Homo-oligomer: A and B are copies of this chain.
Amino acid sequence: MNRIHYQPLGGNQMPRFGGPATMMRLPSRPDASGLDACFVGVPFDIGTSNRAGARFGPRQIRAESCLIRPYNMATRAAPFDSLSVADIGDVAINTFNLTRSMAIIEQAYDGILATGCKPLTLGGDHTIALPILRALTRRYGPVGMVHVDAHADINEHMFGEPVAHGTPFRRAVEEGLLDPKRVVQIGIRGSAYDGEDTEFARSVGVRIIFIEELMERGTKAVMDEAKSILGTGPTYLSFDIDGVDPAQAPGTGTPEIGGFSTFQAQQMLRQLGDVDLVGADFVELSPPFDVGGITAWAGASLVFEILCVLAQSVQRRG
């Protein structure tokens, strides 16, 4: 198929403070057909237990992404040269009803995946990973996952509810969406109710790399191990901005101090080039708690890194 290689609108054509407020000032497209990868927003945050606001995440990441240029100086990736990428807008979730929103999201991703396009999701809170994984599994079978986060999000329930932003991966394991032996969680830290969640992870074979281990061994060693766990099967990348230290990412709902830096995040993401990524999300960015746009800008920059490694996967698959 003859794909159009859309390019971000350049700063020498339109000043960076002008132009469309799409992701990286790419063209806006009504759906994913004809695209290799797409940016799609899911402005959903009613699965949030503390500070809401991730509903504004897609809008704000797009706004700050105006500074991104198409070439990655560190990795020499030029993803827009090899892929057809555009911004397909937002999923029209129902902000008053969590259950209905789950169905709306799942259906929207069925549609995206049907075109063969790889979705790069701008969240939204972490609850949205569940319906996305449901759609992904329907297409690819159970997937592996590299999950970067301060929290494992494998609670049994929250306030008695089975579906919320602290439970998606418990449900995903139970529903057979994730292959727990191919799941690695990186950056976990903070306080907990007790050691129960860790026990669950261990019992099903999920590998948790706490922040102390990451800091001790370094990003290279940890990602080498992660890649050996993920292997060659289809893999999902879920990146929760609260994995990053709150100094660099204050705009999130449940911050945990003592996190890794954006530099470490870049180093980790850049090692995923060999992994078979079938989709990715970037979640929990809450603009009302951001200061000076630094979290949204960090988000836009990290999403660009994700796109660069996703491009490698797409090219390999052909």
Q: Are A255 and B294 in contact (CB under 8 A)?
A: yes
Residue A318 lies at the interface, judged by CB distance under 8 Å to chain B: no
* B contact residues around A17 at 8 Å (CB): 43, 50-51, 55-56, 59, 95
Interface SS of chain A: loop
Shortest beta-carbon distance from A309 to chain B in Å = 14
Q: Are A259 and B255 in contact (CB under 8 A)?
A: no
Residue A288 lies at the interface, judged by CB distance under 8 Å to chain B: yes
Measured in the bound complex, the distance between the Cα atoms of B198 and A90 in whole Å is: 32
Shortest beta-carbon distance from A165 to chain B in Å = 9
* B contact residues around A15 at 8 Å (CB): 43, 49-50, 55, 92-93, 95, 159
Q: Are A28 and B18 in contact (CB under 8 A)?
A: no
- Chain A contributes a number of interface residues (CB within 8 A of B) equal to 100
Q: Are B53 and A297 in contact (CB under 8 A)?
A: no
Residue A291 lies at the interface, judged by CB distance under 8 Å to chain B: yes
* B contact residues around A19 at 8 Å (CB): 89-90
Measured in the bound complex, the distance between the Cα atoms of B290 and A93 in whole Å is: 26
Number of copies: 6
Given A19-B90, A28-B28, A161-B97, also A257-B250 (CB < 8 A): no
Which of B59, B69, B255, B262 meets A258, CB within 8 Å?
Answer: B262
Q: Are A74 and B43 in contact (CB under 8 A)?
A: no
The segment out of A112-120, A207-215, A275-283 that lies at the interface is A207-215
Scan A67-111; emit 1 where CB is below 8 A from any B CB, else 0.
111111110101000000000011111111110000000000000
Residue A251 lies at the interface, judged by CB distance under 8 Å to chain B: yes
Which of B92, B251, B266, B291 meets A18, CB within 8 Å?
Answer: B92
Q: Are A290 and B292 in contact (CB under 8 A)?
A: yes
Shortest beta-carbon distance from A291 to chain B in Å = 4
* B contact residues around A163 at 8 Å (CB): 96
Within 8 A of B (CB), among A265-315: 265-266, 288-294, 297-298, 301-302, 304
Given A55-B15, A59-B63, A246-B294, also A192-B69 (CB < 8 A): yes
Within 8 A of B (CB), among A1-29: 10-21, 28
Given A21-B21, A59-B21, A261-B258, also A191-B71 (CB < 8 A): yes
Further contacts, 13 of them, CB under 8 A, given A15-B50, A15-B55: A12-B158, A12-B160, A17-B59, A21-B62, A28-B28, A49-B96, A71-B195, A73-B190, A74-B210, A78-B194, A215-B263, A247-B262, A291-B292
> Chain A residues in contact with chain B, CB under 8 A?
10-21, 28, 41, 43, 45-53, 55-56, 58-59, 62-63, 66-74, 76, 78, 89-98, 157-161, 163-164, 188-195, 198, 210-212, 215, 245-248, 250-251, 254-259, 261-263, 265-266, 288-294, 297-298, 301-302, 304
4 closest A-B pairs by beta carbon, nearest first, are A21-B21, A18-B90, A258-B263, A288-B288
